[in-house]
Amino acid sequence: MTRFLIRRIGQAILVLFAASIAVFLLFFVGPGPDQVARTFAGRLGTPQRILEIKHALHLDQPLYLQYLHWVGNLLQGNLGFDYYKGQSVNTVVGQALPATVSLVVGAAILWIAYGVFSGVVSAVRSRSLLDRGFTTAALFFYSMPTFVLGYTLIFIFAYELYRVTKFFPFSSYVPITTNPWQWFVHLILPWLTLAMVTAAAYTRLTRTSMLDVLGEDYIRTARSKGMPEQRVIRVHALRSALTPVVTLAGLDIGTALGGVIITEQVFGIPGLGWTIVQAIGQQDLPIIMGIAVLAATFVVIANVIVDILYAVLDPRVRLN
Amino acid sequence: MTVSVDPAAGHLEPEATATAPGAPIIQGRSLGQIAWRRLRRDKVAMAGGTFIAFLVVVSIIGPYFVQDPTVYHSSLIDPTFSRPIGPWGGISLAHPFGVEPITGRDMLARIVDGAPYSLLIGFLSTMLAVVIGVFFGIIAGYFGGWTDSVIARAMDVFLAFPLLVFAIALVGVIPNSAFGMSGNQLRVALLVFVIGFFAWPYMGRIIRGQVLSLREREFVDAARSIGARGPYILFRELLPNLVGPILVYATLLIPTNILFEAALDYLGVGLIPPTPSWGQMLSSAVSNGFYYIDPMFMIIPGLAIFITVMAFNLFGDGLRDAFDPRTR
């Protein structure tokens, strides 16, 4: 186990290193320092002013030095400084992260609960009316663009049904520390949007995996020794059927924590996804790179956790 | 749509009557033929497939049958609210899908005009993803060892990457003409490249998994024992056995890519107006808030994307069941 852990973490660090180079090349070298300085100087920028800006932002140094400087700061937990307000990127991220976490955690609870429940019911009552209903619903939400679902919900609940559902805001976000009730109310529609779109894959995966497991010999053994069906499903089938679901959930949550761009954009939630879209509009490279690296880190950590969970949940998985 | 019932596909296996004198000559069926027979009996999948075929026909010859999508019909627009006159977004015999708010352009014509863009971007980006994914997946699965480790970790890096962010950032900095292309031609190429380039690990992982089990099979040993080398085994022995999964997952990747293109349109980095891709029509309906006064403006392109994506998903699911009935 220890050897497996060390190897896996070593690989994760390598992946992160590669990701940091990719982020640096794509988002920093890609647009080019001249472009950045020009954007920053604005319409009235003279060549002299552009040179000054390049010097002030260290854009005139060799690229490898700029990279080392950036990574060196990253390793000390410093994401750099925003070009416009001179604000620390850590502060910007620190302000955006709670919104994203609120959105993702709430939605994840919904989508995992619904997805697993509907998948298990679909598999156990395979080909029943309930199964068809859940499968059709999954297909429906799977085929729906996220932003269309979001705007439809806003249209129905916040606009058309305003007289009935007075409390649904159109968009925006209230931090939980300001007003927990408003926080909750503002997040209901975003949670539903993100959860419904994501849950579809969980229904399908849980159903397939559960059907697979129910066909295994050990389930037949459990049934043949007279175990009640409820117990067979809860104790024996569910545990191994849920292994792939845990994998998917881990990766999905990891990815989502790095910013849920579309949902945040639709509902005006100032999370990481919203912030990075704003930063791209302004060519604010330190923010873009900071959030991109953070997002990659979340995914990589989620990958490691999933691998470990996999081995813990399913003893048949070899650790080498 | 007709579902033909082939007598030979009944429950009676042809082998059972093989020895009878005068029996018809028995022909072996390939895996592809078996799958095709199963697929033909799957009504839902065939409905999806038929719709896709219809859509392809529409995008090729449709523009010759509808009105000019660029003509403004300002007489059909309510001057106070800028919305179409009449219920349901101004649906009439002349404009079966209604007209656009403000301009009064015919919606049917715009939908038909947008179909080739959505389909083309979906198809081409999937092809790119399949080519890269299959190439690396086959190599990783067959050679194993450190080659596999490197490719698997590279896939991790790709999957770890916030790809929407990359797409917005990239499309934002690319000038209006580059690589000898300009305007929408460049945009289409860029979208295909970005979507395809980030979808390949999905394909790669599936192919790698399939190859891991295929390479232990006897036919690979047999090929090796008669002196076949790596490339021959990879592309002449393994690849034909992967046609099923490749076809299935490519079909399922197309709708994902169509949705991805719509998302990019929504974020403002898709095709350049006035070229009407469906995603771009949708995003102009929602991002200006026009759908409050004219819901049909959102519903019609929304339905176009939704039904298309659904058709591909149904067809892909049917295809998967046909190749591997265990998953039903």
3 state SS for A13-50: HHHHHHHHHHHHHHHHHCCCHHHHHHHHHCCCCCHHHH
Partner-chain residue, chosen from A14, A140, A142, that has the shortest CB–CB distance to B153: A14
B108 half-sphere exposure, CB direction, 13 A CA radius: 16
**Closest-CA residue in chain B for A297?**
B160
What is each CA distance from A228 to A14, A51, A232, B174, B263, in whole angstroms? 49, 78, 6, 63, 48
Residue A244 in domain:
yes
Cα dihedral sign, A20-A23-A28-A30: positive
Nearest to A282 by CA among A136, A143, A119, A82: A82
Partner-chain residue, chosen from B161, B173, B306, that has the shortest CB–CB distance to A22: B161
Residue A46 in domain:
no
Residue A140 in domain:
yes
| Domain of residue B192, CATH code | 1.10.3720.10
**Closest-CA residue in chain A for B261?**
A145
pLDDT at residue number B12:
46
| Closest approach of B110 to chain A, Cα-based (Å) | 19
Total number of domains constituting chain B = 1
Residue B17, pLDDT above cutoff 70:
no
Check CB contact of B289 with chain A, cutoff 8 Å: no
Residue A35 in domain:
no
Give residue ranges of A with CB < 8 Å to any B CB: 11, 14-15, 18-19, 22, 26-27, 30-31, 35, 139-140, 142-148, 151-152, 155, 159, 208, 251, 255, 258-259, 261-262, 265-266, 276-277, 280-281, 288, 291-292, 295-296, 299-300, 303
| Domain of residue A163, CATH code | 1.10.3720
Check CB contact of B2 with chain A, cutoff 8 Å: no
Residue B7, pLDDT above cutoff 50:
no
Domain of A123, in residue numbers: 101-271
Partner-chain residue, chosen from A35, A148, A295, that has the shortest CB–CB distance to B162: A295
Residue B9 in domain:
no
Q: What is the mean pLDDT of residues B119-131?
A: 91
pLDDT tens by residue, A228-269: 888 888 888 888 888 888 888 888 898 888 878 889 988 889
Return d(Cα B66, Cα B61) in angstroms, integer.
10
Return d(Cα B59, Cα B117) in angstroms, integer.
9
A165 half-sphere exposure, CB direction, 13 A CA radius: 16
Say if residues B129 and B200 touch (Cβ distance below 8 Å): yes
Return d(Cα B299, Cα A139) in angstroms, integer.
18
pLDDT per position in chain A (320 positions), as tens? 788 788 888 888 888 888 888 888 877 776 666 666 666 666 666 777 777 777 777 777 777 888 888 888 888 777 777 777 777 888 888 888 999 999 999 999 999 999 999 999 988 888 889 888 998 888 888 888 888 888 888 888 877 777 776 667 767 787 888 888 888 888 888 999 999 999 988 998 898 888 888 888 888 888 889 888 888 888 888 888 888 888 888 888 988 888 788 899 888 899 898 998 888 877 777 888 888 888 888 888 888 888 888 777 776 665 54
| Closest approach of B296 to chain A, Cα-based (Å) | 12
Residue B14 in domain:
no
Q: φ and ψ at B181, to 5 degrees?
A: -125, 165
| Closest approach of B222 to chain A, Cα-based (Å) | 29
| Closest approach of A143 to chain B, Cα-based (Å) | 5
Residues of B within 8 A of A299 (CB-CB) are 159-160
Partner-chain residue, chosen from B166, B279, B306, that has the shortest CB–CB distance to A144: B306
What is each CA distance from B298 to A309, B39, B101, B279, in whole angstroms? 43, 34, 11, 10
Residues of A within 8 A of B267 (CB-CB) are 261-262, 265, 277
Check CB contact of B267 with chain A, cutoff 8 Å: yes
Return the structure tokens found at B61: 């010859």
Residues of A within 8 A of B165 (CB-CB) are 259, 261, 276-277, 280, 288, 291-292, 295
Return d(Cα A289, Cα A81) in angstroms, integer.
11
Residue A168 in domain:
yes
Total number of domains constituting chain A = 1
Check CB contact of B295 with chain A, cutoff 8 Å: yes
Residues of A within 8 A of B161 (CB-CB) are 19, 22, 292, 296
Residue A154 in domain:
yes
Check CB contact of B85 with chain A, cutoff 8 Å: no
pLDDT tens by residue, B39-88: 778 788 888 888 888 888 888 887 777 777 676 766 666 666 666 666 66
Instruction: Give residue B143's pLDDT band: very low, low, confident or very high (50, 70, 90).
Output: confident
Q: Give the ipTM of the model, two decimals please.
A: 0.82
Return d(Cα A259, Cα B287) in angstroms, integer.
20
Residue A71 in domain:
no
Domain of B171, in residue numbers: 33-323
Q: φ and ψ at A168, to 5 degrees?
A: -80, 120
Partner-chain residue, chosen from B159, B259, B302, that has the shortest CB–CB distance to A299: B159
DSSP code of residue B117: H
Q: What is the mean pLDDT of residues B87-98?
A: 66
pLDDT at residue number A218:
87
Q: Note the pTM of the prediction, 2 decimals.
A: 0.82
pLDDT at residue number B20:
54
Partner-chain residue, chosen from B154, B156, B282, that has the shortest CB–CB distance to A145: B282
Beta bridge partners of B181: B178
Residue B261 in domain:
yes
Name the residue with higher pLDDT: A256 or B13. A256
Contact across the interface for A139 and B313, Cβ inside 8 Å: yes
Residues of B within 8 A of A281 (CB-CB) are 172
Return the structure tokens found at A58: 């260290």
pLDDT at residue number A299:
85
Beta bridge partners of B182: B177
Return d(Cα A94, Cα A294) in angstroms, integer.
11
Residue B262 in domain:
yes
Residue B18, pLDDT above cutoff 70:
no
Instruction: Give residue B231's pLDDT band: very low, low, confident or very high (50, 70, 90).
Output: confident
pLDDT at residue number A125:
86
Residue A29 in domain:
no
Residues of B within 8 A of A155 (CB-CB) are 291-292, 295
Beta bridge partners of A88: A81
